[in-house]
Amino acid sequence: MKNQMKKLAVLIVGLVTVFSFIQCTKAEDTTPTTTETAKSTALVLIDQISESENAAESVDDIIACVYTCVNGMPVEELSEAEVNTLNFMREEEFMAHDIYVNLFAAYNLPVFNNISNSETIHTTAIKALMEKYGLADPAADHQTGVFVNQDIQGLYDALLQQGLLSINDAVVVGATIEDYDIADLLSHITEGTDNEDILFVLQQLYRGSRNHMRAFYAHMTYRDITYVPQYISLELYNQIVGSAWEVGNGFCSCSATENNPLFILQTQ
């Protein structure tokens, strides 16, 4: 874990340096070739960071951390709003996962594979909460692309169709999914949720979605695509894509404190 954290820290320092250089090249009269090289380097770095954090071999270990954290927190009375949140988020995270799996199959772009692994962790975290509270799981027999919630089904169908049009459309669909997910998570975090374990999980999903947005932003920048957020404010979008990758998996620390090495990396 320590070696992985050091590797991630080095990659992020490199990424920040490259993105700073890209901003300078936009302001100065430098050659297009130099700018394109910088964008390409940034893309490679952010894909490496994403792969390192979401490697398939790490998923089982992180899921074990999920259950340890969730089950180690108090059992509190569930409100109707919290039950509805868990039901919706369970399928919403599957929606993202299923679209990314399909887009990876279509374009073999690593970002979709990396983030689909992350979405597996996200939907399992919601499942852990549902099991803890004895709730019926709407995705217990999940089949790829099939959802109980018809709003999610409609969104899945529309976004997958758009993503299969071209690789540029696929990258924009990735940003759109994270845009939607961030807005939804924020609404659940700020309204109708007060259980410690649910808030903890939602905050981890929110951190993950911010990183996912940063990854898709790097791909859009590389392809000269300008994305206008549809669900979150432009101010929040710019704040997210203009800030550094947030290192560390909170599920394996349960909290980021000043005594936790993850806290140091997350705040640098």
Per-residue pLDDT tens digits for 86-120: 999 999 999 999 999 999 999 999 999 999 999 99
What mean pLDDT comes out for the span 24-43? 60
Cα separation, 46 vs 243, whole angstroms: 13
- In the chain, the DSSP E strands lie at none
What is the domain partition of the chain in residue ranges? Answer: 59-266
pLDDT of 251 > 70? The answer is yes
For the chain, the farthest-separated pair of C-alpha atoms sits apart, in whole angstroms, at 62
Query: Which CATH code for domain 59-266?
Result: 1.20.1260.10
* Dihedral (CA of 32, 34, 35, 40) sign: positive
For 52-66, how does the pLDDT look when each residue is reduced to its tens digit (9 = 90+)?
666 655 788 889 999
CA distances from 62 to 69, 123, 144, 236 (A): 10, 12, 22, 28
What mean pLDDT comes out for the span 259-267? 33
Which amino acid is present at 83?
V
pLDDT of 7 > 80? The answer is no
